[in-house]
A = this chain, B = another copy of it.
Amino acid sequence: MSKDDLNRIFLSEEEIPTHWYNVQADMPNLPAPSLNPKTKQPLKFEDLQAIFPDELIRQEMSTERWIEIPEEVREAYKKWRPSPLYRARGLEKALDTPAEIYYKYEGTSPSGSHKINSSIPQAYYNKQAGIKRLATETGAGQWGTALSIACQAFGLECVVYMVKISYEQKPYRRHLMNVYGGRVIASPSMETECGRQILAKDPNSLGSLGIAISEAVEDAAGRDDTNYALGSVLNHVTLHQTVIGQEAKAQLAKIDRYPDPVIGCCGGGTNFGGISFPFVKDKIEGKKVRLLAVEPAACPTLTRGKFAYDYGDTAQLTPIMKMYTLGHDFVPPGIHSGGLRYHGASPLVSQLYHDGLIEAVAYGQNEVFAAALKFARTEGILPAPESSHAIKAAIDEALKCRESGEKKVILFCLSGHGHFDLAAYESYLSGRLKDVEYTDEMIAEGLKNLPRI
């Protein structure tokens, strides 16, 4: 069988990357320093010690190019890494495109998405630091599941503050965390001062990601045995996700391919950074490769937001970061790609986008689900709605190749499966899914309350 005939390209366990790649070593401009939300001065190492172990703070601030992956983490990765790279032959055929389409599939992980690439090292470093318990928040449940599995693997307790409306409407996600030993609390809760205050004012509050973050941070800051864990946005989280792009690059190299474009969906930005950052240095050195971030039109952070200092959360408890933002009190509508409903984008992605090294595009959810359905019916795999944004962009690129006759090598990250998103598919199939349109005035409204730095 010739290399050109392969349907899946595997790597051996020995080919799991030995280091994470830190894009900060190669960026033309480093992101502006994040600021302490109280003092508005550049964030210091000590500012983060109440909630993160030292090693993760070092990674957050490091500009070293390669950071070694601990042996215990690589061992844990072996349950699902290296993940497969698929050639999308069914999709290519359906599109009648001369392009080759490849997707790196992270849905074979125990948690069903890429999130576990970071929850494993986060649990590991906390365990090393003597921490007994991790607190986090979750919206749709992907990160809460990934952290529950990681805590189980390293013998830590896991407490997940889950936005109350998701807690009630998505019981299966909650049960899944319970199966993996996670304790799931509907937020706002009576377990934190912040939660009690909100419930005193509004006993029927349905919660928000902002409130859940506040509760998890309060929980972690108030207990010596507990730290906080975040599944997106931050530098160290993006760092851990670079195993995705490194593996994909090695897999394509095995069949003598190099991708252009490289595509990922973009919410907080860690999945997109994971697939694309390992190609940034090549691009800076003149290699022809477009890096394309795909976001929902209902939360168009890169394509319509502002590059400015802003808080990471509604309650203004997190550090102030320089990033593309729609405003920390922008509330995206309830679209089905819960994992992409975030008002900001990671400072690393934002800086690279600002410097023209990354491109971005936004799609409405109906066209994204149409792409998801085409993918499911030609490739068999049911994609997560979030990941389907990348599929839509890949399809559009492949159709352009049909016009131009170009034989491009398109690579995208299929960051997770959609086994827990069937209610969303049903909405689409029954024609009940609505797209959201923003006027420039509505976007401007969200940007009115940026902090004055």
Contact = CB atoms under 8 A, between A and B. Distances in A.
Nearest to A107: B108
A17 to B, nearest CB: 15
A289 B129 CA distance: 47
Given A78-B8, A110-B381, A422 B180 contact: no
Contacts of A380: 79-80, 109-111, 149, 153
Given A79-B7, A176-B382, A420 B423 contact: no
B422 A377 contact: no
Contacts of A153: 90, 380
Nearest to A110: B380
A426 B175 contact: yes
Given A179-B382, A179-B425, 13 more contacts: A1-B14, A8-B78, A79-B380, A80-B380, A108-B108, A110-B381, A110-B382, A149-B380, A175-B426, A176-B425, A178-B425, A179-B377, A419-B419
A11 B217 CA distance: 46
A172 interface: yes
Contacts of A347: none
B175 A7 contact: no
A426 B171 contact: yes
A157 to B, nearest CB: 13
Contacts of A451: none
Interface residues of A, number: 43
A172 B423 contact: yes
A181 interface: yes
A381 B149 CA distance: 10
17 contacts: A1-B12, A10-B10, A110-B379, A110-B381, A111-B380, A149-B380, A171-B422, A175-B423, A175-B425, A175-B426, A176-B382, A176-B422, A176-B425, A178-B426, A179-B382, A419-B419, A419-B420
Nearest to A380: B110
A152 interface: yes
A101 B426 CA distance: 40
Interface in A237-276: none
Interface in A99-130: 108-112
Contacts of A373: 179
Contacts of A377: 152, 179-181
Contacts of A13: 1, 6-8
Contacts of A429: 175, 178-179
Nearest to A381: B110
A78 B149 contact: no
A279 B178 CA distance: 38
A376 interface: yes
A78 B12 CA distance: 18
Contacts of A111: 380
A144 to B, nearest CB: 14
Nearest to A377: B152
A12 B79 CA distance: 19
A180 B112 CA distance: 20
Interface string A1-29: 10000111010111000000000000000
A30 B271 CA distance: 56
A164 B426 CA distance: 18
Contacts of A6: 13
A79 B377 CA distance: 13
Nearest to A424: B175
A388 to B, nearest CB: 12
A12 B12 CA distance: 12
Contacts of A181: 377
Nearest to A419: B419
Contacts of A379: 79, 110
A175 B422 contact: yes
Interface string A421-449: 01101100100000000000000000000
A113 to B, nearest CB: 12
Nearest to A176: B422
Contacts of A12: 1
A370 to B, nearest CB: 12
Nearest to A116: B380
A90 B109 CA distance: 15
